[in-house]
Amino acid sequence: METQRVQVAVIGSGFGGLTAAALLAKTGMQVAVLEQNNYPGGCASSYKRKGYWFETGATTLVGLDEDMPVRYLLEKTGMQLPLLKLETPMQVRLTDGTLITRYPKLEDWIQEAERVFGKQGQRQFWEACFEISQKVWRTSLQQVSFPFGSISDLWQAAKSVKVEQLSLVPLAFQNMKDFMTTHGLLQNERFVSFVDQQLLITAQNVHPEVNVLFGATALCYTLYGNYYVPGGLRQLGKSVASYLEEQGSQMMYRRLVKQITPVSEGGYQIDTDKGLVQAEYIIFGLPLNNVSSLFNDLKTKQSLQKYLLPADQVNGAVTWGIVFERSTSTPTVLHHQLHVPGGVPYIQSESVFVSLSHPEDELRAPDGMCVASVSTHVLHPKKNWIEQKKVLEQWAVKFLAGQGFFKEAQVKFVQAATPGAWIEWTGREWGQVGGYPQYQRIKPWQMKDARLDGRKAYLCGDTVYPGQGIPGVCLSGIIAANKLLRDHFKEGLERLHH
């Protein structure tokens, strides 16, 4: 079989890889995206069952506000996305039944937080969090050389540095436990429980481990524009894939990458299940654990070893797809976090996240029907192998019916998926989801730089800095593309920025 030759190979079509691919294609580079499935998107995609479209992982789109990564991508490429802005991003129900509305305006949200948790410390805490989050997003697109991997990175950072960026540095050494203590909130058990479950959505860990830079930003994502994508988040990946093809690049579906070999004359040989691909440059949009397993180059594997997290320090997920008849009692808010009294059976996670299809979205479900995508964290997925799918399906229906989402008789279809399904869908080791959790011992600059091997291989996705949630993985793709261009194709970098 003849070897295919490409200039840039992007391995995996998650949103980080697609972002990097689109930006490189805009500069005139020839890009080929190798994807093991027959559609793009990775963990920000959708799958079809019984004629309905369910979300694979991510369910809401954030990142379109000023100074945010998805907006940057759309402005640079001119892509248009079909979007519906949500009036109310989310509601949260505590174990005692208290309903909390995550209003999109800061003042409205502070008043709601004070109503539920008491006035002590709430205003100061949330105003501080929001101010930090704004600084973080402003900094993120100004400092695309961070984490630093070369003298050139340091020089670029020095040229771009602003005083407000320096004020963020101490917050990388402070965790959310310290931050809540400062505001007199650590003894407020209901509030701490609320914060922990909210942090799990975007930082994959709880308050003693998440630093203030990530934590404050994670807690404020409902205070930025939250969007619904008609037809499901698969439309996001499809839009970028279409843009790539318009630029003369290509999507190579059903291509399972089996091994990567650096070649002596430069570039890389990529062994796939459908033959060989030769690439001058590679960008990986895969989790670090998967990337390490693909290289047969001992030096590269050893250099990555210190960045890898073991199975007991990552999360898997159990997800449910539920189809039910809409009624007057169906919630109008689409996204919900429900705290579970006593925890989810067999899993012991403390909350589930529920996303409903929009009532006007007949691409996902016909008129009168609703699709619910439900998920919960599974700690240590290698050890906690969940096999009680039928029992969990029955539990989910009863629990959501008890929360008022529907009556059990209205449910037409339910299917649970365990971390094993994530392995099948995405190939991610142990079925890990949501990227690497934040850990206090790992400072931002100790996370993996976008340069993979010091040669012509780069890295993006949810297990590298910054990498969590759609805005994070998009930013990781922006950083990878910028570093590749600055290292090897400065003309292209000028084209991208002008």
Instruction: Label residue 130 by pLDDT band (50, 70, 90).
Output: very high
pLDDT value at residue 184: 96
* pLDDT above 90 for 264: no
Residues 6+ apart with CB under 8 A from 242: none
Question: Residue 366 phi/psi, 5° resolution?
Answer: -65, 165
> Please, are residues 282 and 32 in contact by the beta-carbon 8 Å criterion?
no
Q: Distance between CA atoms of 267 and 418, rounded to whole angstroms?
A: 38
Q: Look at 92-106, 217-231, 241-255, 459-473 and tell me which has the smallest mean pLDDT.
A: 459-473
> Average pLDDT in the 124-152 region?
91
Give residue for tokens 């308050």.
Answer: 207
- Select from 352, 334, 331 the least CA-distant residue to 343: 352
Is residue 311 helix, strand or coil?
Answer: helix
> Average pLDDT in the 213-240 region?
94
pLDDT value at residue 446: 82
Q: Distance between CA atoms of 280 and 462, rounded to whole angstroms?
A: 24
Summarize pLDDT for 83-128 with one digit per residue, the tens: 999 999 999 999 999 999 999 999 999 999 999 999 999 999 999 9
Numbered ranges of CATH 3.50.50.60 in the chain: 4-45+71-80+229-309+435-497
Q: How far is CA 52 from the centre of its chain?
A: 23
What is the number of other CB atoms lying within 10 angstroms of the CB of residue 256?
13
One-letter amino acid for residue 391 of the chain: V
Is residue 418 helix, strand or coil?
Answer: coil
Summarize pLDDT for 346-387 with one digit per residue, the tens: 998 999 999 999 999 999 999 999 999 999 998 888 888 888
Q: Look at 275-289, 329-343, 446-460 and tell me which has the smallest mean pLDDT.
A: 446-460
> To the nearest whole number, what is the mean pLDDT of the chain?
92
Residues 6+ apart with CB under 8 A from 51: none
* pLDDT above 90 for 393: yes
Q: What pTM value is reported for the model? A: 0.95
pLDDT value at residue 292: 92
153: left (phi over 0), alpha (psi -120 to 50) or beta: alpha
Summarize pLDDT for 188-217 with one digit per residue, the tens: 999 999 999 999 998 999 999 999 999 999
Structure tokens that stand for 205 in this block: 């860990």
Instruction: Label residue 495 by pLDDT band (50, 70, 90).
Output: confident
CATH of domain 4-45+71-80+229-309+435-497: 3.50.50.60
197: left (phi over 0), alpha (psi -120 to 50) or beta: alpha
Give residue for tokens 């016909």.
Answer: 366
pLDDT value at residue 401: 97
> Please, are residues 388 and 417 in contact by the beta-carbon 8 Å criterion?
no
Q: Distance between CA atoms of 495 and 26, rounded to whole angstroms?
A: 8
Query: Dihedral through CA 143, CA 147, CA 152, CA 155, nearest 10?
Result: 50
Between strands 52-55 and 46-49, the pairing is antiparallel
pLDDT value at residue 1: 63
Quote the DSSP letter at residue 50.
Answer: T
> Average pLDDT in the 375-402 region?
91
Residues 6+ apart with CB under 8 A from 139: 162, 164, 165, 168
* pLDDT above 70 for 32: yes
* Distance (Å) of CA 372 to CA 87, 231, 322, 396: 19, 13, 5, 11
Q: What percent of the chain has pLDDT over 70?
A: 100
> Please, are residues 230 and 49 in contact by the beta-carbon 8 Å criterion?
no
Instruction: Label residue 64 by pLDDT band (50, 70, 90).
Output: very high
Q: How far is CA 304 from the centre of its chain?
A: 22
What is the number of other CB atoms lying within 10 angstroms of the CB of residue 461?
32
pLDDT value at residue 394: 96
Q: Distance between CA atoms of 216 and 299, rounded to whole angstroms?
A: 37
* pLDDT above 70 for 176: yes
Q: How far is CA 107 from the centre of its chain?
A: 27
